[in-house]
Structures are given as C-alpha cells and as structure tokens.
Amino acid sequence: MLKKYVLGSLLVVSSLASKANDLPKSPTTSPNEVSDKKSNSKLTDDLQRFARKLIGIRYLWSGKTLKGFDCSGLVNYVFAKFGMKLSHRSIDLFKMGYQTTPEHALPGDLIFFKINANRKDEVSHVGIVLESDKNGLKFIHSACKTGVSISYLKEKYYASRFAGIRRVIDSLK
C-alpha cells in the first residue's frame, strides 16, 4: 500500500513539474534593457519633435537640406541630427534593422511604400513613424505634392502602396 502511495505521489509531482515547464516564462528585464528602453523613448520623443519642426519644407528631388527634402533626405536629416548615419536610398534603408508590423510599430520606425509606377516591385518612398492614434498609424515624410507633411497609413493612397516597417534605431545606437 505504501509503495502505491509513494508511486502515485511521485507521478503527481512529476506531472505538476512537467506542466510548470510548459508555462510561459515570465520576462526578465535587466537594468541595462530598462535603461535602453527609457533612452529609446527619450530619443524617439526628441526625434519626433525635431521632425515635426520641418513640416512645410518643400519637396526637392535628391534634397537633403532645409532648402528641400526628398523622402530619404528627410529621414537622413532627422536621424543625423541625433548622430545616426543612414543611406540616402529608400531601397537600402529597407534592408536595415528588422521588420515589424503596423500593430507593433513604434515612433522612430521607418515606414516604406512602393510609390514609383515604373518600379512597382521596388520600395521607393520612406517616412518616419510618429505614433498610432484613433485614426491609425501616423507618419511624417516628404512627398512630391505636399513637401514635409504628416499622413496616415490608412489613407487609400498609402494603404495600397504599403511595403513594410523596419525598426532601425536599435541597430544605429
């Protein structure tokens, strides 16, 4: 009788231990990771604030100064202000960092579009994610007709040309 009791108890304990291993692990965050998240938050806040000050500057093909910006020129100018050097080609920027989704996009992520009708399979436009609000994902970019302006991903024009979002800040610091 004692053998059955001990054997039964061992099976129960073994079963519970096995189920405990199947539970999701609680995340552990090191002090460095907490510090990085806080510094990223401060960095992206500053980056957004700076980018918004450029609203209204005209579009200029290949432009990368206050005289005018093209899309990647704007991205370069903003990131350079914070010591981060990027390529001036949107197609090269699309290869940086790692991909994320609109639902997981964070301020400072780069958002990409396939705008150029001659190169339908190639990324040809880039902007900087600002935030997600009641109207959806908001980004700043330099567009031919509007210059530096803010748009939403859900706008028909951009939604139909959306190519992806890349998180690059983590790889640039």
Burial label for 47, CB within 10 Å (0-12, 13-18, 19+), is buried
Question: Would you give per-residue pLDDT tens digits along the chain (173 residues)?
Answer: 544 444 444 444 344 444 444 433 333 333 333 333 444 788 989 999 999 999 999 999 999 999 999 999 999 999 999 999 998 899 999 999 999 999 999 999 999 999 876 676 789 999 999 998 888 999 999 999 999 999 999 999 999 999 999 999 877 76
What's the fold here for domain 38-172?
endopeptidase fold (from Nostoc punctiforme) (3.90.1720)
127 in Cβ contact with 109 (< 8 Å): no
Nearest CA to 94 out of 80, 112, 117 is that of 112
**Backbone phi and psi for residue 9, each to the nearest 5 degrees, phi listed first:** -65, -40
| pLDDT at residue 102, as a whole number | 94
Nearest CA to 107 out of 30, 172, 51 is that of 51
65 in Cβ contact with 77 (< 8 Å): yes
Nearest CA to 109 out of 150, 153, 154, 168 is that of 168
